[in-house]
Amino acid sequence: MLPASQAEAMILDLVQPLDGKRNGEVVTLLTAIDRILAAPVVSQLDFPHWDNSAMDGYAVRYEDVRTSHAEQPVALEIVEEIRAGQAPKREIKSGQAARIFTGGVMPSGTDTVVIQEHTKREGNHVFIFTAPPEEKAFVREGASFYQAGAPLLLPGIALQPPELAVLAAAQCTQIKVYRRPRVAILSTGDELITPDQPLQLGQIVDSNQYALAALVAQTGAEPLHLGIFPDKPHILRRAISQAIATADVVLSSGGVSVGDYDYVEQILADLGATIHIRAVAVKPGKPLTFATFSASVASKHKPVLYFGLPGNPVSALVSFWRFVQPALRKLSGLAHSWGPMFVQARSQHDLKSDGQRETYLWGQLHLIEGCYEFHLADGSHSSGNLINLAQTNGLAVIPIGQPAIAKGEIIRVLQVGTPLIPLAHSKQN
Ligand SMILES: Nc1nc2c(c(=O)[nH]1)N[C@H]1C(S)=C(S)[C@@H](COP(=O)(O)OP(=O)(O)OC[C@H]3O[C@@H](n4cnc5c(N)ncnc54)[C@H](O)[C@@H]3O)O[C@H]1N2
Ligand code: MOO
Ligand SMILES: [Mg+2]
């Protein structure tokens, strides 16, 4: 059995990110959130586009006002008013000033803004009561934030609200992003039914399909629901074969352990896959199977990744969070930050494992005054118990050979799901 860190490294090593040139698509500003930029963005505009005022006040020539102070204010003639959006019409000469508002374009001849709080206006004259702090004060100089032609945004970043603001300001309305990776999801098992079918003794509702599809979508990829397939090798073989023809990644759940009806590994081998991982020393999730179909076998431009996830509902989810999600992030074109997100948290409970495999105990991470706390989910930590998985946003990691962790100790927790909202105070203490 491979240690988890080695399995992760091996999987990530085998993931070739989508090629942005071949796998790009164009989206608009309103649909670009969370998409990954596939080509560099360069603007032909300077930022700021021109010298402009940072404050409401008067645009002046520094030379005219540098000697002014409260006892001997300098008087300047106001010859123009410039609001944001208006082009200045004249040059400001010595002894003159322009009334200017925040964002207004600095008129030629001026280099400094005096804020109106330091002035007094009488008719068409303004008296400057204090010296401005320095030359060019309150002027946002053209091109001082960004010079036209330089790289503005680099490919491989996820577009978030700040990047959308940058793109909008740069008038980039058509944005080239990576297409979403296509992820086929199939559930295997004679016992499986859909949630709307009546339950007969021994049957199990296919919950993995829904959880995995939602996780895939949450990771920015496109889930393809292939449905349920019985433990019949020829049917499963056809389904897997169709899945590799249509998807970049295939996720199956079930059929990867040692039972008589666990056929996935054999079918992968028959179909020409290279099986890299057959088991990982993690609990839950031990029988994780990871294989690749080379580009030629899959008749594609690039290899297809296959994750045979264990059927137990918690095992399937934990395996996704720990191994599949980072791989999907890398595949999707993200230039960095694919890896699983581990944080340090103070455990609010005694934690136990059998010490044989790296153990993931599910529960809740709380953010209390900037520090993480881990609260273990109540109830059974069996990999078949999906009931107490609800509200999980953290998996405490119990390392191999360290069977007990005492309440109050700092532990490593894999943060999963949506970002944390800080809580005002701890529930337990
Ligand atoms: N003798 C051994 N038995 C088992 C071992 C072992 O090492 N030796 N490993 C155990 C571990 S650990 C796991 S995990 C499971 C993995 O089993 P499979 O991946 O082969 O999955 P199945 O046998 O098909 O199903 C297991 C369990 O999960 C339920 N299931 C399956 N698919 C779904 C689904 N889509 N939605 C909800 N639940 C599902 C299925 O009904 C079974 O109850 O093997 C252990 N056995
Ligand atoms: O490793 Mo299995 O995933 O315990 O149930
Ligand atoms: Mg089995």
pLDDT of residue 359: 97
Output the CA 404–ligand 1 centroid distance in Å: 26
pLDDT of residue 429: 41
The answer to whether the beta carbons of residues 108 and 88 sit under 8 Å apart is yes
Q: Which regions in the chain score pLDDT beneath 50?
A: 426-429
Instruction: Report residue 247 as tokens.
Output: 């998807």
pLDDT of residue 382: 94
Output the CA 256–ligand 3 centroid distance in Å: 6
- Produce one character per residue of 238-257: b if its CB has 16 or more CB atoms within 10 Å, e if not: ebbeebbeebbbbbbbbbbb
> pLDDT by residue (tens digit) across 107-164?
999 999 999 999 999 999 999 998 777 999 999 999 999 999 999 999 999 999 999 9
Q: Closest ligand to 195 CA?
A: 1
CB of residue 203 inside a 6 A radius of ligand 1? no
CB of residue 254 inside a 6 A radius of ligand 1? yes
Q: Which atom of ligand 2 is nearest to the CA of 310?
A: 3
CB of residue 289 inside a 6 A radius of ligand 1? no
pLDDT of residue 325: 98
CB of residue 172 inside a 6 A radius of ligand 1? no
Report d(CA 402, CA 94) in Å as an integer. Answer: 79
The reply to whether ipTM tops 0.95 is yes
**Nearest alpha carbon to residue 46 among 171, 175, 160:** 171
CB of residue 313 inside a 6 A radius of ligand 1? yes
CB of residue 51 inside a 6 A radius of ligand 1? no
Output the CA 8–ligand 3 centroid distance in Å: 23
Binding-site residues, ligand 2, Cβ < 6 A: 283-286, 310, 312, 315, 383
What are phi and psi for residue 218, nearest 5 degrees?
-65, -25
- Angstrom CA distances, 348 to 132, 271, 367, stand at 57, 48, 13
Report d(CA 254, CA 265) in Å as an integer. Answer: 11
Output the CA 67–ligand 2 centroid distance in Å: 80
> pLDDT by residue (tens digit) across 277-336?
999 999 999 999 999 999 998 888 889 999 999 999 999 999 999 999 999 999 999 999
Output the CA 311–ligand 3 centroid distance in Å: 7
The answer to whether the beta carbons of residues 315 and 327 sit under 8 Å apart is no
The answer to whether the beta carbons of residues 249 and 181 sit under 8 Å apart is yes
CB of residue 257 inside a 6 A radius of ligand 1? yes
Output the CA 320–ligand 1 centroid distance in Å: 15
Whether omega before 399 lies within 30 degrees of 0, making that bond cis, reads no
172 HSE (CA, 13 A, CB side): 23
pLDDT of residue 403: 87
Output the CA 254–ligand 1 centroid distance in Å: 6
CB of residue 373 inside a 6 A radius of ligand 1? no
Q: Which atom of ligand 1 is nearest to the CA of 286?
A: 12
pLDDT of residue 337: 87
Output the CA 330–ligand 3 centroid distance in Å: 30
Protein residues placing their CB within 5 Å of the ion ligand 3: 257, 259, 262
CB of residue 326 inside a 6 A radius of ligand 1? no
Instruction: Report residue 320 as tokens.
Output: 């996704």
The answer to whether the beta carbons of residues 189 and 44 sit under 8 Å apart is no
Q: Which of 312, 319, 383 to mutate to test the pocket of ligand 1 (most atoms within 8 A of CB)?
A: 312
Q: Which atom of ligand 2 is nearest to the CA of 383?
A: 5
Q: Which of 194, 228, 236, 257 to mutate to test the pocket of ligand 1 (most atoms within 8 A of CB)?
A: 257
pLDDT of residue 425: 55
